[in-house]
Amino acid sequence: MGGDFGPSVVIPGAEIALERRPDIHFIIVGRESEIRPWLEKHPKVAENATVQHADYVVKMDDKPSQALRQGRWKSSMWIALDAVKKGDADVAVSAGNTGALMAMSRFCLRTMAKIDRPAIAAIWPNVKGESIVLDVGASIGADAQQLVDMAVMGSAMARIVFDIKRPTIGLLNVGVEEVKGLEEVKAAGKILREANLESLSYHGFVEGDDIGKGTVDVVVTEGFSGNIALKTAEGTAKQIGEYLRLAMSRTLWSKIGYFFAKDAFDALRKKMDPRRANGGVFLGLSGIVVKSHGGTDPLGFAAAVELGYDMVKHQLQAKISESLDQYYAAPRGGMDFVPSETVPAKSDML
């Protein structure tokens, strides 16, 4: 029921995902009177879905605390998450209020053992292909141990998404030199470097332009800067697209040039299409949750569903647990790190 368009995007998006992943079964939670008309238009989804009615719907502008207080036990969002908790569903996918979804996910599913707080991981296109960036908005601020946890979780996701044995990890910083940056970032770099884990290869510090260059497979940062980077990249992509549109329609010759270069521009448009990488995975929970962009269309929502499908199929939770066990079993070189309690967790950002 969430997002800008509710069932009018979710149901058609489910049909696209079903065509690509025929073994999916959906539990569609929300107001049945609004869902049924769309299922009648998409009978393939209706044949592979059950509808669970919920009167209460979390609004997109509800504060997380308000949504948790009023929507616990009865909202469509909570019921979907509870289905994952009970084992009735393998993954929950929502286009709804991000802060509310994170707050409810933490309360309903709880975090995994050894994880202090979850993170939102996004797949990010770059000149070499794609990378994973986290956290892109689950919470503001992070201490060194939380950054290390995100690196370990991000590496597990990268092993699935990119099918590589030892993903490269970079900590987002204001420079690549070891003496630069916040103390938390420098401490996290020291921990990762000394741990020398088999499941990941620590590259070192990376800067903002390294995200687009594809310097590493996983970029780790705290949610405030991660979300700003994400929104900046989305805005830049739209800006470039608008510049190209105006340039190609300015004169007769530019229109003729566009006609001959149409295939190249179509390839560029496809590469920059945010729908292809839609879906942020909530890492660190005792269950898989995927957040779709609220303003996406059916194609984008299908991508979020398929991302969740792949996380389940390739056993994301088991890979994260395996990576965490390996990290905590690794020698620390005499360094015992105690997570700071001075960094507050904020989920109201998105």
Helix, strand, or coil (residue 170): strand
Bridge-based pairing of strands 168-172 and 201-206 is parallel
Tokens in use for 261? 């270069």
Tell me the mean pLDDT in the region 318-331.
83
pLDDT of residue 287: 94
Confidence of residue 345 (pLDDT cuts 50, 70, 90): very low
The 8-class DSSP code of residue 284 comes to T
Q: Which residue has the tokens 């904020």?
A: 346
Q: Structural domain boundaries of the chain?
A: 7-329
Largest CA distance in the chain: 70
Reported as a single tens digit per residue, the pLDDT across 223-245 is 899 889 888 887 887 787 788 77
Give the DSSP H/E element, type plus range, for residue 16.
helix 7-20
pLDDT of residue 110: 92
> Can you tell me the distance from the alpha carbon of 28 to that of 14, in angstroms, rounded to the nearest whole number?
10
Helix, strand, or coil (residue 35): helix
Tell me the mean pLDDT in the region 95-99.
91
Confidence of residue 268 (pLDDT cuts 50, 70, 90): low
| Among 83-92, 147-156, 282-291, 339-348, the least confident range | 339-348
Q: What is the pTM of this model?
A: 0.84
Contact 275, 302 (CB under 8 A): no
Cα-based angle 173, 174, 176 (whole degrees, multiple of 5):
70
Tell me the mean pLDDT in the region 315-340.
71
pLDDT of residue 35: 96
Distant-in-sequence, close-in-space partners of 88: CB < 8 Å, separation ≥ 6? 27
Bridge-based pairing of strands 280-283 and 288-291 is antiparallel
Q: Residue 27 CB: number of other CB atoms within 10 A? A: 15
CATH of 7-329, one of 3.40.1260.10, 3.40.718.10, 3.40.640.10, 3.40.1130.10: 3.40.718.10
